[in-house]
Amino acid sequence: MNSSSYDTITFESSTDKAIIDNLIKYAIAPRPICFASTINHLGQINLSPFSYFNFMSHQPPICVFSPLRRMRDGSTKHTLDNIQEVREVVINIVNYAMVQQQSLASTEYPQGTDEFNKSGFTAIASVHVAPPRVAESPIQLECKVRDIITLSDEPGAGNLVIAEILCMHVHKHLLDNDNSISQADLDLVARLGGDWYCRVTGENLFIVPKPLRRLGIGIDQLPENIRRSDTLTGNHLGLLANVEALPKLQQGLPEDKYLKYLRLNFPEDSPQFTQKVHEYVAQLLDAGQLDKAWQILLCSTRVL
């Protein structure tokens, strides 16, 4: 891993507010979308998307989302007004099939407009709360609002809606017999900076093994010429360092054919040999072959 220095430009929220307002949406991304269904005391329904949203607590099960005061005039959004009257919300999770219609629902329609009708979604009755659910949404969370934290009265001010999940509806076809779900099948979308969204598809999912069960040795304990490799990246070193102890060379294994080829073609004490070995190790790590990658490093004694 090359330890280079990074030049940075610093923006202060006291003087560079507009720049930060724009950049922060690119930086804190992707953001899941809370498609919030609410109702006022007259029974008028509202449906609007909010990406300042996440799951915050398992016990109690809590989601938080934030309808901001409008930038143009500091007025509050209908979703917040409704929640202040009827402290209930259904958080509908947005997948790719819903993305254009949910965007339409974000239009600033006049108070009292039912965005279910405007955006063409199907309203179905909830079990515990008055606002309806979006039938098309793969997962719907019925919530009661525990608290609303108002951050200021300025335009753009957040209002943190602290919503406790009462029940979770999941489209049946997404669940297997163990009540597990395939992340790819959910086909979620998320909001990023500007007009960008992203879609969670099978091709862009990958697994990072949890380091929790095994206490990894840490990058500081890797042999120096692995740690300082120009070829192995931070991700590679992270994988190599996620072992309980430096692995031992397994005796009696047949010599790896590619390593043999490298030995025949490059002097073992040459930088080229080290580089080729590290390139090979990088490929093995990218393919998920941690044990083999370590064995190659251990076999090529010059590398250690």
**Closer to ligand FMN at the Cβ: 106 or 233?**
106
Q: What is the 3-state secondary structure (H, E, C) of 175-195?
A: ECCCCCECHHHHCEEEECCCC
Contact 190, 197 (CB under 8 A): yes
Looking at residue 268, the DSSP 8-state letter turns out to be T
Q: How far is Cα 258 from Cα 277, in angstroms, rounded to an integer?
A: 9
Binding site for ligand FMN (CB under 6 A): 33, 46, 48-52, 66-68, 77-79, 103, 106, 108, 191
Q: How far is Cα 169 from Cα 173, in angstroms, rounded to an integer?
A: 12
Distances (CA, A) of 169 to 92, 137, 238: 9, 9, 38
Looking at residue 269, the DSSP 8-state letter turns out to be T
**Closer to ligand FMN at the Cβ: 115 or 142?**
115
What does the buried/exposed string (b/e) look like for 43-80 if buried means 16 or more CB atoms within 10 Å of the residue's CB? eebbbbbbbbbeeeeeeebbbbbbbbbeeeeeebbbbb
Ramachandran quadrant class, 128 (left: phi over 0; alpha: psi -120 to 50; beta: rest): alpha
Spell out where 171-297 has E strands: 189-191, 197-199
